[in-house]
Amino acid sequence: MAEPETPRRSKKKWVLLILLLSLPVGAYYGKQWWEYSSTHVTTDNAYVAATVAQITPRIPGVITEVLVDENWNVKAGQVLARLDPQEYEVRLAQAEAALARTRENVDQLFAAVDVSVEKRRSAHSQIETAQADVTTAQASFHQAELDLQRAKALFAEQIIPAYQFDKAKTQYDAALSSLHSKQKQLEQAQKDEAMRGKEHEQAKAALGGESNSARYDRALVKEVEAAVREAQLNLSYCTLVAPIDGVISRKSLEVGQRVQSGQPLMAVVPLERVYVEANYKETQLSEVRVGQPVEICSDIYPNVAYRGKVDSLSAGTGAAFSLLPPENATGNWVKVVQRLPVKVVLDQPPPPDHPLRVGLSVEVTIDTTDRSGPLLSSLRQQAAQQQAMSPARNAKQLVSSPEQSTFAHNVNLVTR
């Protein structure tokens, strides 16, 4: 009866042996798990996002041509659609005709200024002539006055006959009358010169400045030139182009459709410039800093991981910016752990064989080992400020397209 106990003891020994052997292995993996969980935070409440460019017309019109379709790849500057340009071509022709007419008016005003200058010179010459005539008349009057005084003295002494005295008296009256006439002519010439001066000032005022400046550098010409420029812009707005590289989405226009200014017609989604918005619990963010490395796993590609960095943390939770924010001051308050959006930018664009679409759900893991980064900052903002401080980079940025210099961080593909 004692022999059956031997197998049982043997089984217990094997169980104890297996337990003793598994303790180091379990301790090793438990330590690894503990170290990993203490330096990594993970959430599956994360989604792919992008700065989508909405294509809206700046002017109303009728669609005459649509050159793209849903889910087509487009490049920056590529023509997407065209509006009927006839109405805006007519407006441009009217503005150009008004500009030509205004320039003709400026030419006429310049001629009027030249005429007023000549009239003013002529009036000044008349004043000089009248002044000379007054001087001559004054001399003649002075001589006639002396002759009259002598004739009066001689006539009183009966030395000269009466007709000579009368002759001297007549010459005196004529000289006095001539002097008054010349003085009135001088006054009239001075009045004419003042009038010509006013006419000259009026001509200059109508011209809008000094005549020695640029001929068409006038306010009335600039106003019409601005109207021409506006008509040219409106005509150029008849062609809708892609502002950035991307994929066409939500196309809602057809040929013959009349659209209004600001009406959404389609969207351009830049799939090479996507980023991830991860909604972490507030209890997970105590050690999260800007610049920490991130691993991103998508449900659409289970065996692929993307590399990125923490770009910035939102200034408020999702509930704070919701349409109906919670009223925490009410009596029926219940504490709920809030989630804070964390923006993650990818190190390199996703490859063509594993693209990320906007709205896809992903799992984000942040490595919080390096905690030296700031809490309130943005990697893209820092990059933009560095570019603004470098003249050479500014010159290079002017040559390249503005869209290409905006996105500096994207996605790095790592195959597991």
Q: Is the pLDDT of residue 395 over 70?
A: no
Nearest to 123 by CA among 195, 223, 198: 195
Nearest to 265 by CA among 50, 75, 83: 83
Instruction: Please tell me whether residue 224 adopts helix, strand or coil conformation.
Output: helix
Nearest to 228 by CA among 97, 61, 80: 97
Write out pLDDT tens, residues 277-308. 999 999 999 999 999 999 999 989 988 999 99
CA angle 313, 318, 319 (to 5 degrees): 140
Backbone angles phi, psi at 339, to 5 degrees: -115, 140
Question: What is the location of CATH 1.10.287.620 in the chain?
Answer: 88-232
Instruction: Please tell me whether residue 123 adopts helix, strand or coil conformation.
Output: helix
Write out pLDDT tens, residues 227-263. 999 999 999 999 999 999 999 999 999 999 999 999 9
Residue 10 one-letter amino acid: S
Q: Are 116 and 196 in contact (CB under 8 A)?
A: yes
Q: Are 410 and 348 in contact (CB under 8 A)?
A: yes
Question: What is the location of CATH 2.40.30.170 in the chain?
Answer: 40-50+271-322+335-415
183-207 burial, b at 16+ Cβ within 10 Å, e below that, comes to: eebbeebbebbeebeebbeebbeeb
For residue 394, the tally of other CB atoms under 10 A from its CB is: 12
Q: Is the pLDDT of residue 358 over 60?
A: yes
Q: What is the pLDDT of residue 382?
A: 81
> Which one of 3.40.50.150, 2.40.30.170, 3.40.50.261, 1.20.58.1880 gives the CATH number of domain 40-50+271-322+335-415?
2.40.30.170
DSSP class of residue 405? Answer: T
Provide CB contacts within 8 A for 6, sequence distance 6+.
Answer: none
Question: What is the location of CATH 2.40.50.100 in the chain?
Answer: 53-85+239-267
Strand order of the sheet with strand 239-241? Answer: 239-241, 79-83, 61-66, 258-259
Residue 313 one-letter amino acid: L
Distance CA 298, CA 280 (A): 17
Write out pLDDT tens, residues 25-43. 566 556 556 666 788 999 9
Distance CA 88, CA 93 (A): 9
Distance CA 244, CA 73 (A): 11
Both tokens assigned to 89: 């071509």
Provide CB contacts within 8 A for 147, sequence distance 6+.
Answer: 168, 171, 172
Provide CB contacts within 8 A for 210, sequence distance 6+.
Answer: 204
* DSSP line for 251-301: ----TT-EE-TT---EEEE-GGG-EEEEEEEGGG-TT--TT-EEEEEESSS
Position 9 confidence tier, pLDDT thresholds 50, 70, 90: low
The CA radius of gyration of the chain, in Å to the nearest whole number, is 48
Q: Are 154 and 227 in contact (CB under 8 A)?
A: no
Q: What is the pLDDT of residue 416?
A: 30
* DSSP line for 132-154: HHHHHHHHHHHHHHHHHHHHHHH
Distance CA 222, CA 215 (A): 12
Length of the chain: 416
Write out pLDDT tens, residues 96-152. 999 999 888 888 877 777 777 777 788 788 888 888 888 888 888 888 888 778 877
Q: Is the pLDDT of residue 1 over 50?
A: no
- Residues forming beta bridges with residue 62, ordered by sequence position: 258
- In the CATH scheme, what is the homologous superfamily, with its name and number, of domain 88-232? Helix Hairpins (1.10.287.620)
> Which one of 1.10.1380.10, 2.40.50.100, 3.40.50.980, 1.20.1050.10 gives the CATH number of domain 53-85+239-267?
2.40.50.100
